[in-house]
Amino acid sequence: MTENADKTKANEELIAALKKEAADAHAEVEKTKKEIQAAHAREMKAKKEATSKEEKQTSTLTPPPEPASVHGHEEGKPHYIGAWQKFCPTCGDPNPDFKDETECADCHTHLGAKEVAEKLKACPNCGGHNAKRL
């Protein structure tokens, strides 16, 4: 083997090593890209979940259109009860102001005290307009 041949071989080895290094670096970049994408996807998912939670909370806290009373709840959160509702629709606690005096003549939904039924524009269950005394 001549000196030149040795040099050529050494050069080839060097080139191969550099190529491998470049390939490794490329793989590293691809890996990092994938990690960033995965992190981004996780972030979007978390955001989506947070948004849907917020929406849920908002709908729970929306007070009903009719006069509502507020009562304390286990977690200290007030719940809204329509004056015509015997129980809180959220937690099932009884409405302390409820008087069982009237019902809807059409669907027999109880509408509470006489003055409460008079204030209702329509039966909350069927939309009827015929409240009657029990």
Q: State the residues that interact with Zn ion by CB under 5 A.
A: 73, 79, 88, 90-91, 93, 104, 106-107, 109, 123, 125-126, 128
Asked if 104 contacts 128 with a C-beta cutoff of 8 angstroms, the reply is yes
**Nearer CB in complex with Zn ion: 22/107:** 107
**Nearer CB in complex with Zn ion: 8/90:** 90
**Nearer CB in complex with Zn ion: 5/133:** 133
Least distance in angstroms from the C-beta of 55 to Zn ion:
20
Is 110 exposed, middle or buried, given 0-12, 13-18 or 19+ CB atoms closer than 10 A?
Answer: middle
Residue 45: in which H helix or E strand, if any? helix 3-61
Token pair 């001549």 is found at: 2
**Nearer CB in complex with Zn ion: 3/74:** 74
Report the half-sphere exposure of 78 (CA within 13 A, side-chain side). Answer: 8
**Nearer CB in complex with Zn ion: 40/77:** 77
Q: Which residue is nearest to Zn ion (CB)?
A: 79
Least distance in angstroms from the C-beta of 99 to Zn ion:
18
Asked if 96 contacts 69 with a C-beta cutoff of 8 angstroms, the reply is yes
Least distance in angstroms from the C-beta of 57 to Zn ion:
15
Least distance in angstroms from the C-beta of 105 to Zn ion:
8
**What is the sign, positive or negative, of the torsion defined by CA atoms of 38, 54, 93, 121?**
negative
Least distance in angstroms from the C-beta of 95 to Zn ion:
9
Residue 130: in which H helix or E strand, if any? none
